[in-house]
Amino acid sequence: MLELAGGLAARGHEVAVACPEPPEPGLRGVAGEARARGLEPALALGRGRGARPVADAADARRLRALVAARGFDVLHAWHTRDHVLALRAAGLRRSRRRAAVVRSWRKAEPLPRAPWQRWLFGPGTDGLLCVSPGVAAACRPARRGRPLRGAFGAVDLERFAPRAPDPALRAALGLAPEHRVVGIVARVQPHRRFELLLAAAAQLFREEPSARLLVVGRGTRRAALAEEPARRLGLEGRVVFAGYRSGDYADVLRCIDVFTFLVPGSDGTCRALLEAAACGIPAVTTRRGALPEIVADGETGLLADETPAAFAGALRRLVADADLRRAYGAAARKRAETLFAPPVLAAEVERLYADALAASGASPRPWSETSSR
């Protein structure tokens, strides 16, 4: 959301952010990240999830007042709760002057089909932004001709620029100079297929003794889903659990020689994969969700079948071939500059906003981003 907001502001648009403060001072959150980018939140929303007609009445009134005072024409929502808030603040559908409501669909799958969700993502959305062109195509039937676009996520290309890994950080992670590191950044959850990754890693280690697996991320079930299975497979010392990283995250990412991703999480843009590409790191992924659109097979990485042998084979091709890693990595960075840059996303969303404004009958003015997270 903030990469898009910054991209739109850089293109000369007035952008306001409405979001909650963190539950405790000092915790990382959207509001703090917005301030760090020079986007002071225009409205502090209450925290919450889902549609809450009664509990959110005050927030709806405050957002409606902000929209009226500043004359916003577009409200861009990112989750269900702020989508409903945006609809309540946008104005009556029958009114001559109302704001258009645009929604980001963050999952790499078709839209939900429950009756109220069919309305929410149909008539309740003037414009829909999907995480990729392929996902947009899958969602098109449910939109029934209403404005729709698919655009890849955006990352900070300067922060995630290709640089040599920090030897001291690698050493702190237990990685020696001769180790070739396969890395994943993901919350450890059952659906992320860590059992497949560990089985493939076991095969890879037998063929490539210098290979290591770096797992970056947290999860309340990390021990049961990843640490204990790694011990049972005899992978102690070869699988490194780096935990959740914040300040040194980009530097930890650069310690990886081959990035991997098996199943998209709640963020269908697969942001960590985009960040790895920006760092010039080739990838091996499955064909789920938007992964085959993000990774150009045989150019910036490899797409592999979901079997231990196939996945291990694809990883080994890159682990064992430094020249191939360099070539794929350079192509990944170029692809990131072409497709994953904030100005590229902002330009795509501008076109969606124009379509949504035309569909709603409004004329373009300043725009607002909202989030209840």
Query: Radius of gyration over alpha carbons of the chain, in Å?
Result: 22
Q: What percent of the chain has pLDDT over 90?
A: 74
**pLDDT over 50 (residue 29):** yes
What average pLDDT does the segment 70-84 reach? 92
Rounded CA-CA distance 183/190 in Å is: 18
DSSP state string for 191-225? GG-HHHHHHHHHHHHHH-TTEEEEEE---TTHIII
Q: Mean pLDDT throughout 23-41?
A: 88
Q: Where are the alpha helices (DSSP H) in the chain?
A: 2-10, 30-36, 57-70, 80-90, 115-120, 133-143, 167-172, 194-207, 222, 228-232, 249-253, 271-278, 291-294, 308-319, 322-339, 342-360
pTM: 0.90
Q: 139: phi > 0 → left, psi -120 to 50 → alpha, else beta; which?
A: alpha
Average pLDDT score, the chain: 91
Higher pLDDT, 363 or 237: 237
**Confidence band for 92, pLDDT divided at 50, 70 and 90:** low
Q: Does domain 2-153+342-370 have CATH number 1.10.1740?
A: no
- Of these ranges, 58-62, 140-144, 268-272, 300-304, the one predicted with the greatest mean pLDDT is 300-304
* Domain spans of the chain, in order of start: 2-153+342-370, 167-339
State the average pLDDT over residues 319-343: 97
Q: How many residues does the chain have?
A: 373
Architecture of the domain made up of 167-339: 3-Layer(aba) Sandwich (3.40)
Q: 102-124 burial, b if ≥16 CB within 10 A, otherwise e?
A: bbbbbbbbebeeeeeeeebbeeb
The sign of the dihedral angle between the CA atoms of 120, 126, 132, 137 is positive
Structure-token pair, residue 311: 């996945």
Q: What is the 3-state secondary structure (H, E, C) of 295-352?
A: CCECCCEEECCCCHHHHHHHHHHHHCCHHHHHHHHHHHHHHHHHHCCHHHHHHHHHHH
Residue 180: band (very low, low, confident or very high) from pLDDT cuts 50, 70, 90: very high
Q: What is the pLDDT of residue 47?
A: 87
User: Comparing 2-153+342-370 with 167-339, is the CATH topology the same?
Assistant: yes
What is residue 52's three-state secondary structure? Answer: coil
C-beta of residue 302 within 8 angstroms of C-beta of residue 292: no
pLDDT in tens, 135-166: 999 999 999 999 999 999 999 999 999 999 99
Does position 94 have pLDDT exceeding 50, yes or no? Answer: no
Q: Tokens in use for 19?
A: 């979001």
Name 297's Cβ contacts closer than 8 Å, sequence gap at least 6.
303
- The string of pLDDT tens digits covering residues 58-69 is 999 999 999 989
Measured between alpha carbons, how far is 371 from 373 in angstroms, rounded to an integer? 6
Instruction: Read off the DSSP letter of residue 190.
Output: G
* Weakest-pLDDT range from 6-15, 236-245, 249-258, 353-362: 353-362
Distances in Å between the Cα of 103 and the Cα atoms of 29, 74, 85, 135, 158 are 21, 10, 12, 14, 28
- Residue for token pair 């985009």: 274
